[in-house]
Amino acid sequence: MTTADLLKRERAHIVKSLANTLGFQYCGISEATQLEDEARRLELWLNQSMHGKMSYMERHFDKRIDPRKLVPGARSVVSLLFNYACEPIKQTEDAPKISRYAYGEDYHHMIKAKLFELVERISEEVGEVHGRVFVDSAPVMDKAWASKSGLGWIGKNSNLITRHSGSWFFIAEMIIDLELEADGPIKDYCGSCTRCIDACPTEAITPYVVDGSKCISYLTIELRDAIPEGFKGKLDNWAFGCDICQEVCPWNRFAKPHKEPAFSAHPELAEMSKQEWMELTEETFGRLFSKSAVQRAGFDGLSRTIRFLNDEGPSV
């Protein structure tokens, strides 16, 4: 091993150690190169209109598949996982459900702050580092990079799955100009399991491909238009997001509860009845979700979905 290789290994160890001290459970590294196989799969997915009305997925294709075009001078992609695993809220049986990742404060802000701090600490340890940090905030194929760096494999439900802790993770990246020793991918451990495919109420999942236009998360969050009538009775009472394909995944039996107070659910959520959800006001929405990722749907979007779930009035 050359002196340059030893230096890259030493720097990688420093980066991973610092990431751990900031609360990231996993950290993996890839060389910043073009994603050839992922580019072909993304192009096919787009050509089949599986992105629905998420037109932003069509933009910046070249930057999605090559981090060097997104961050000039990039040498390494550092992928990080932050745990949000928790038990579902104990609600009344007929109350609308929201995805666990949206129980507490919006993860974007908290995790991005940690990423900025991580860059600062790396600069203090190894010298000035340039680049950008990302948490669902740019055309970055986060699951592809996390898989490439060996943090897990992309399962049949298209989620990144880790062998030791399942899939309840937020994925973040640093694309930086620092040369680091790269990790390698691991094998796929889904085997013959089809639980996620069998459990999806809208039949959005085929092995390793999710038709976004049929996904409950897309219908309840990304879609701004009326939810198509063909999905009546198929949303399984999800008002924001959906956790079904993760709830049935056998690997999530290894998930460990998060320790981040900011991700704890608002105490009122567990107490809300179906009727209270139906009568949700902007004031109550603001109190419950002022710092939550539910803000992405907004009061109007959440109310639209709740009406759709209860078949009361047009879903507009």
- Distance between CA atoms of residues 163 and 185, nearest Å: 13
C-beta of residue 150 within 8 angstroms of C-beta of residue 186 = yes
Structure tokens of 183? 């990790």
Residues annotated as catalytic are 136
192: number of Cβ within 10 Å = 4
C-beta of residue 30 within 8 angstroms of C-beta of residue 148 = yes
C-beta of residue 275 within 8 angstroms of C-beta of residue 96 = no
C-beta of residue 52 within 8 angstroms of C-beta of residue 213 = yes
Closest C-alpha among 82, 45, 63 to residue 208: 45
- Distance between CA atoms of residues 290 and 296, nearest Å: 11
Closest C-alpha among 28, 102, 51, 21 to residue 218: 51
End-to-end CA, the chain: 63
Structure tokens of 316? 């507009």
Helix, strand, coil abundance in the chain, percent, nearest 5: 45, 15, 45
